[in-house]
């Protein structure tokens, strides 16, 4: 795990498969933790069943270990995220959390006014994608290792979504101008959040 940002007792934590990380002492207890991991599913709350989460991850091509802990993150919109963490990561997160603290993920980011939209949150090594037309059609997290991976993903998105109809709303969590240029090469209707 790696703490990404620290503002107003809110942090993003990148789950990297390990569980050792340091947190600045002045941080204190955390009220909101955004978990950045590819081991995330978005599901309608009405279909959630705790006993079926391992099967849901396996069906999505993400088999997880039996000892992994699934964090169900509910919203008031009828959708929920399922985030898989190791037991050691969960124990460390619990030690950091303030009483009543909660988790979130970029897949739960509210998009607002829904026209045909592709919402993307790019954290450099993970890309969160939600496609609306006009309702949610797809939600996914994709791991990115290099620019070629991002190019391939963006090319597939432009092939499957008519760029004349879709607005791409991009939340870029990097100051790398080369990444923004990649998006501009693929999408003409690009809005940065």
Cα–Cα distance for residue pair 105/86, rounded to 1 Å: 17
Spans of all domains in the chain: 2-105, 117-192
Measured distance CA(146)–CA(91) in Å, rounded? 32
141 against 27, higher pLDDT: 141
pLDDT value for 7: 54
**Secondary structure (H, E, C), 49-76:** CHHHHHHHHHHCCCCCCCCCEEEEEECC
* Whether pLDDT at 4 is above 60: no
pLDDT tens for 39-68 read 999 988 888 888 888 888 999 999 888 889
What digits encode the pLDDT tens for the residues 62-103? 988 888 999 999 887 788 999 999 999 999 888 888 888 899
Quick: pLDDT tens for 118-139.
999 999 899 999 999 888 899 9
pLDDT > 90 in the chain, percent: 47
The pLDDT confidence band at residue 36, using thresholds 50, 70 and 90, is very high
CATH superfamily of 117-192: ATPase, nucleotide binding domain (3.30.420.40)
């Amino acid at each position: 795990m790696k703490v990404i940002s620290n503002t107003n007792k809110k942090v993003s934590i990148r789950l990297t498969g390990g569980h050792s990380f340091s947190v600045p002492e002045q941080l204190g207890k955390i009220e909101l933790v955004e978990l950045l991991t590819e081991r995330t599913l978005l599901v309608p709350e009405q279909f959630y069943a705790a006993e079926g989460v391992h099967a849901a991850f396996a069906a999505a091509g993400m088999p997880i270990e039996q000892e992994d802990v699934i964090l169900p993150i509910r919203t008031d919109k009828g959708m929920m995220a399922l985030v898989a963490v190791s037991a050691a990561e969960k124990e460390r997160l619990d030690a950091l959390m303030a009483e009543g603290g909660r988790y979130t993920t970029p897949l739960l980011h509210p998009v607002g006014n829904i026209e045909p939209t592709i919402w993307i949150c790019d954290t450099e090594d993970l890309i969160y994608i939600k496609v609306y037309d006009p309702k949610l059609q797809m939600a996914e997290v994709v791991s990115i290792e290099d620019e070629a991976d991002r190019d391939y993903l963006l090319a597939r998105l432009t092939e499957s979504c008519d760029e004349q109809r879709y607005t791409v709303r991009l939340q870029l969590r990097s100051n790398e101008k080369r990444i923004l240029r990649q998006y501009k090469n693929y999408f003409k209707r690009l809005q940065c959040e």
